[in-house]
Amino acid sequence: MLRIPFEEMEQTICRAFIKARLTENTAAICARIHTESSCDGVFSHELNRVERLVD
């Protein structure tokens, strides 16, 4: 099982959202939600949804 530190995952997701033209504040909030959901095992809002949202 691959483990990524929480902060690294959150920062990576945040950068992806910023590149998708979200404001820094909105990107940070969305990144936090998706990172926490991934850690909690909430499959409907975890890491696998980020790509679809960025598209």
CATH topology of domain 6-54: Hypothetical Oxidoreductase Yiak; Chain: A, domain 1 (1.10.1530)
Q: What are phi and psi of 3, to 5 degrees?
A: -120, 130
Task: Output the pLDDT for position 27.
Answer: 96
Given a cut of 70, whether residue 45 has pLDDT beyond it is no
Q: What is the pLDDT of residue 46?
A: 67
Q: Model confidence over 17-32: pLDDT tens digits?
A: 999 999 999 999 999 9
Instruction: Calculate the dihedral angle through the C-alpha atoms of 19, 51, 10, 24, rounding to the nearest 10 degrees.
Output: 30
Whether residue 6 has pLDDT greater than 90? yes
Where do the domains of the chain lie? Answer: 6-54
